[in-house]
Amino acid sequence: MNHLSLSDDDSSPIQSHLDELSRRLTMVVILWLILTAIWSLSIDQILHTILMRLDPCAENCVNIFAPDEWAATRWLSAAIFGIFTTAPFIIVQAYGFLKPGLLPSERKSFIIWMVIMYCVTCLTLWWTTMEFLPWLYEIAHSSSEASGLVGRYDAAEILRVAISLSWMMVLVLAAVSIVFIAGSAKLIWKGNAGWWRLRVHGMMVMLLWLVIPSTLPGLMVTLTVFAIMLVELAGIKFFNSALPSGHGLRDLLDVDGGVNRILYVNCSCHDTTPSIKPLHGMGIIKFQNVCDDKTQQNHLLDIVKKFRVNKLVFSGCNISELQFNLTQSFKFLAVEISSLDLAHLSTIRTDGDLVDMDLAMAGLVGPWSQKNSDEKIQQIIRHNELKTIHYGKQIPFGMQVVKGQAWIKNPSDLLLQSLEEKGISIVHESQ
């Protein structure tokens, strides 16, 4: 497996996804064409209102010099209004298509970005057309009058400039907002900043070059540099931030100096597994039944990916019973998984003592050394005044321990020798 797969992903062929995409696009295009046709019935009145607002002259000086260009601009304007009224349906269809392949935090960021961009785009187009450009045209017209020139302006050209400038602003705001939203969701940090820069800058610059008229190369270079600087300024905090952390995760160094992030998955397994505290430095997250709930599994996968966890310790889940897609995704992310088998441990005694589970937690090795693990185990044995230790590879069927006794799985030979020297009875249990 060479990709990340969610727990509820299936093995549908690519053609089925293409068919779904085609079906959704067809619905969007049909709705857009219908709404464009509806807008075309009243587009003349709308454009008249806009041109009167953009007209910089005291008396009307906006004319149509090329009827064919005006007709094209008229239909372009109707199509843009059609896109805006179709946008809510586009958002729903885009989310429905992408949702199965997105992690929970990515889904949230995506829908927030889509809604914000829709609102920002509407406000940007209104402000540019009704406030900024009238002010700009008025200044330019005053300058031409001071030079003794008589202004005569092409209506189609005025509208095209308004549309182009508005879309330039929208593209820059889209890039800035996606960096800010993804950064706030802890999806961007110094380690993957290059990946985000390549895609955000690349897409933004490509679309800018498509919008900016080729007859204005100076404007193309200026706006490209300005847009990149604005995105960098908006994302400077996120592009230079350290690896995000959460759920109590800390960087733990092993004997070789490697950095480890270990997350304890405290799953109650349908209330069959008691809860114990993890070791110092381990993060912890609680689930009700991550063993078989795909939503919880996807949430766990999201956390592992976002916070760069490289080792998972399950409380009572049976590793072999986890979803295949989930275990393969952990393998793809180079995450080591193990289980303390607390659900099984809870059945070997009836007094409710959690000492066996504390010993299982203390027995974890990596990044902790074997010596450190043995010391923690001996400390627990002394604190609980244990007299007998049962050990083996697996808990024998029907085994029961009482007060003063405990079970340890696969202890080291040095630990067994040390316990015997301290007068503790050691009993080997074979399956």
pLDDT in tens, 307-316: 999 999 999 8
Name every residue whose Cβ is closer than 8 Å to that of residue 188 and which is 6 or more positions away in sequence: 179, 182, 196, 235, 238, 239, 241
Q: Are residues 51 and 163 in the same domain?
A: yes
227 in a domain, yes or no?
A: no
Q: What is the pLDDT of residue 55?
A: 77
Say how far apart CA 223 and CA 217 lie, in whole Å: 10
Q: Are residues 112 and 38 in the same domain?
A: yes
Q: For the chain, first and last CA: distance in Å?
A: 35
- Contact between 212 and 164 under an 8 Å Cβ cutoff? The reply is yes
Tell me the helix, strand and coil percentages in the chain, rounded to 5.
Answer: 60, 10, 30
Q: What is the pLDDT of residue 93?
A: 94
The 10 Å Cβ neighbour count of residue 337 is 17
Low-confidence ranges of the chain (pLDDT < 70): 1-2, 10, 58, 144-151, 213-217, 219, 431
Alpha carbon distances (Å) from 96 to 20, 93, 102: 10, 5, 11
Q: Are residues 68 and 132 in the same domain?
A: yes
Q: What is the pLDDT of residue 74?
A: 87
Q: Using CA of residue 128, residue 134, residue 139, residue 140, what is the dihedral sign?
A: positive
pLDDT digits (tens, 9 = 90+) for 380-389: 999 999 999 9
- Contact between 354 and 340 under an 8 Å Cβ cutoff? The reply is no
Say how far apart CA 262 and CA 280 lie, in whole Å: 10
* Lookup: tokens for 364: 């974890």
Short-list 322, 260, 274, 275, CA closest to 297: 322
197 in a domain, yes or no?
A: no
Helices (H) and strands (E) in the chain, counts: 14, 11
Last residue of a domain, one of 171, 204, 219: 171
Q: Are residues 304 and 354 in the same domain?
A: no
Which range marks the domain in which residue 81 is found? 14-171
Q: Are residues 305 and 369 in the same domain?
A: no
Say how far apart CA 77 and CA 71 lie, in whole Å: 10
88 in a domain, yes or no?
A: yes
Q: What is the pLDDT of residue 62?
A: 76
Q: Are strands 252-253 and 262-267 parallel, antiparallel or unpaired?
A: unpaired
Say how far apart CA 356 and CA 353 lie, in whole Å: 8
Q: Are residues 40 and 91 in the same domain?
A: yes
Partners of 314 in beta bridges? 265, 339
Last residue of a domain, one of 154, 171, 188: 171
Rg of the chain over all Cα atoms, to the nearest angstrom? 32
Q: Are residues 150 and 58 in the same domain?
A: yes
Say how far apart CA 264 and CA 38 lie, in whole Å: 58
340, amino acid identity: L
Say how far apart CA 338 and CA 93 lie, in whole Å: 39
1 in a domain, yes or no?
A: no
376 in a domain, yes or no?
A: yes
What's CA 185's distance to the chain center, in Å?
7
Looking from the CA of 203 toward its CB, the CA atoms found within 13 Å total 14
Last residue of a domain, one of 127, 152, 171: 171
96 in a domain, yes or no?
A: yes
179 in a domain, yes or no?
A: no
162 in a domain, yes or no?
A: yes
What's CA 193's distance to the chain center, in Å?
14
The 10 Å Cβ neighbour count of residue 75 is 14
Q: Are residues 295 and 380 in the same domain?
A: no
Say how far apart CA 67 and CA 105 lie, in whole Å: 51
Indicate the DSSP class of residue 249.
-
Short-list 106, 242, 103, CA closest to 182: 106
Q: Are residues 59 and 113 in the same domain?
A: yes
Domain count of the fold of the chain: 3
Q: Are residues 264 and 300 in the same domain?
A: yes
Q: Are residues 37 and 121 in the same domain?
A: yes
Tokens 């480890």 locate to: 260
pTM: 0.80
Q: Are residues 40 and 158 in the same domain?
A: yes
